[in-house]
Amino acid sequence: MAANWMRRTLVAAACASAALLTACGSSSVESAISPDRFVIFGDGLADQGQLGTSYSVNDGSINNWTAQFASRYDVKTTASSKGGTNYAYGNARISATPDVVGNANTPTVVKQVDTFLASNKITNDDIFVVSAGVSDVIANTNAFLNGTITEEQLKANVVQAGADLAVQVRRLNSAGAKHIVVTGTYDLSRSPWAKAINKEALLSSLSIALNNKLKIDLTDNLTGKQVMYIDVAYEVNLFEGSPGSFGFTNSDKPVCNSVDTGAGIGIGTNEINSALCTTSTVNDVNYNRYVFADKIYLSPEANRRLGDYARDIIINQW
| pLDDT tens by residue, 32-86 | 789 999 999 999 999 999 999 999 999 999 999 999 999 999 999 999 999 999 9
Residues recorded for the chain: 318
Which carries the bigger pLDDT value, residue 221 or residue 284?
A: 284
- Look at residue 9 and tell me whether its pLDDT is greater than 60: no
Please give the model's pTM, rounded to 2 decimal places. 0.91
Predicted confidence (pLDDT) per residue in 96-154, tens digit: 999 999 999 999 999 999 999 999 999 999 999 999 999 999 999 999 999 999 999 99
Provide Rg for the chain, Cα atoms: 18
The per-residue pLDDT of the chain, averaged, comes to 91
Q: Which amino acid is at 21?
A: L
Domains detected in the chain: 34-241+299-314 (3.40.50.1110)
Q: Which of 307, 303, 198 is nearest to 248 (CA)?
A: 303
3-class SS string, the chain:
CCCHHHCCCCHHHHHHHCCCCCCCCCCCCCCCCCCCEEEEEECCCCCCCCCCCCCCCECCCCCCHHHHHHHCCCCCCCEHHHCCCECCCCCCCCCCCCCCCCCCCCCCHHHHHHHHHHHCCCCCCEEEEEECCHHHHHHHHHHHHCCCCCHHHHHHHHHHHHHHHHHHHHHHHHCCCCCEEEECCCCHHHCHHHHHHCCHHHHHHHHHHHHHHHHHHCHHHHCCCCEEECCHHHHHHHHHHCHHHHCCCECCCCCECCEECCCCCCCCCCEECHHHCECCCECCCCHHHECECCCCCECHHHHHHHHHHHHHHHCCCC
